Amino acid sequence: MQVVHPRCAGLEVHPDSVVATVMLTAPDGSVQKHQRSFGAFTLQLLQLRDWLASHQVTHAAMESTGAYWKPVWNLLEDQLSLLLVNAQHLKRVPGRKTDVSDSEWLAELLRHGLLRASFVPARPQRELRELIRHRSGYVDRAAQVKNELQEVLECANIKLARVASQITGVSALEMLGGLLEGSASAEQLAELARGRLRSKKPQLVQALEGRIAPHHRLIISQLLADLAWCEEQIEEVSQEIARRLKAEEQIIQRLDGIPGVNRRIAEVILAEAGKDMSRFPSQEQFVSWSGFCPGNNQSGGRRRGARTRPGDRTFKRAIMEAAHAGSRKKGSFLKARYHRLSAKRGAKRAKVAVGHSILKSVYQMLKEGTEYTDLGQDYYDRRNPEQLARKLAHRIEKLGFSVKIQQLPKAA
C-alpha cells in the first residue's frame, strides 16, 4: 500500500494523558516506531511538541474526543498538519484496544492516507464559535428562568400570562414589581399597562387578583434578578460578537433577508459554517455536513427511511429555529413548502425540509455573493398550473358539480 505521509504520528488523547506513536518510513520502505506517553498539562504538551519536532514529524492525527483534543490542537497547529478524525471511523478488532495500540492504529492509517479529516476552522473562527455557544448558554438560562417565573405565578393564582403575550415585557415587569411591593391593588397595577395592552385592563385586573405569599415574593424577586443578569451577559457577549463580525456586516444583512433568519442566526451561520464555501464542492455536501439530509439505509435494492445525519448541534438548532419562523412567514416560498410537505410527511419532517431549503439558499448566497430572492408562496401553483386545475376540478366533481376547464387568453 502506498505511503502518503512518511513522517507521521498518531495521538491518543485523554483528559490526563496523551499517548503518541511516531512512524518514520525510510526510503527502502522500512518503518521505525517511537512511542511515548505525555501528561495533559501545558508544559507536558509542549514537551510533546518538541518530541514530535525532534523526529521531524509533518502530520499528526487524533480522535475528536469531547473537548480534550482542543488543548493539544491549540499548541500543535502552528507546527504540524493536524487531522481531527471522527471516532466512529476508527473501529478496530475487538479485544485489542489499548491506548498504545490506538495511537499506533491512528499513525498507521494516517501513514497510508486512509483518514478523513473533520473540519476544524482557523483560530479566529474557533474563538467566535466559543462566544456564540457561550451566548446560547445564557439564552437557555434566561428561557429556563422565564419558565420558572411562569410556574411560580401560576402557584400564586396570578394569570398574567393569559392576558399579556410576554410576562417579561416592559408592562409585565412593572406589574410584577408592584406585586413584589405589595402596596398596589389589582386595579392600580393594571393601569401600568402600555400600548395595546391597555385595551385589556379589565382582563388584567382579574389576572392580577391572586394569592401571593411571602415566599412567592422571595422567589419572584430572585428570578427577576437572574433574568436581568442573564440579559446583561447576553448583551455584553453580543457586543463582542458584533465587534468581531464588523467586517462581515454586509453578509449578515444579506442573510437576514432569508425568511426566518435574523441577525443572531446569521451570526451563528458565520461562526459555525464560516463564509468560505469553497471547502464544500456542492450545496448537497454542505447540507449533508449540516445534518439536514437523511442517512443512507439501503439493502437488497430497497431504500428504507433513515434519520437525519448528526451535525453541529448549535448550527442545527439555529437552522431549525429559522425553519420554524420561515414556515410562518406570509407570502413566502418557505411557507408554501412547509404546508405542501406537512400534509404528506408530517410537521417535523416538513420543517427539516424547510431548513434544507434555507441551507441551499445560504450556500448560494455565500458562494456567489448574491441577495436572497423569494420564489413566492404561489411558486408551486405557477410551476404546473394545468395539474393544479385538474386536481381542483376533480375535487369539485366529487361534490356533484361538473367543471369545464378552459384556459383564458393572456392579458395584453
C-alpha–C-alpha distance, residues 375 and 356, integer Å:
15
Note whether 175 and 198 are within 8 A (CB): no
Confidence (pTM): 0.84
Estimate to the nearest angstrom the gap between the alpha carbon of 126 and the chain centroid. Answer: 15
Tell me the residue type at 200.
K
Count of alpha carbons within 13 Å of 349, Cβ hemisphere only?
A: 11
pLDDT in tens, the chain (412 residues): 789 999 999 999 999 999 999 999 998 889 999 999 999 999 999 999 999 999 999 999 999 888 899 999 999 999 999 999 988 777 665 555 788 888 998 999 999 998 888 888 999 999 999 999 999 999 999 999 999 999 999 998 998 888 888 888 888 898 988 888 887 788 888 888 888 888 888 888 888 888 888 999 999 999 999 999 999 999 999 999 999 999 999 999 999 999 999 999 999 999 999 999 998 999 999 999 998 887 777 666 777 766 777 788 999 999 999 999 999 999 999 999 999 999 888 999 999 999 999 999 999 999 999 999 999 988 988 888 888 888 888 889 889 888 888 887 776 5
Note whether 255 and 275 are within 8 A (CB): no
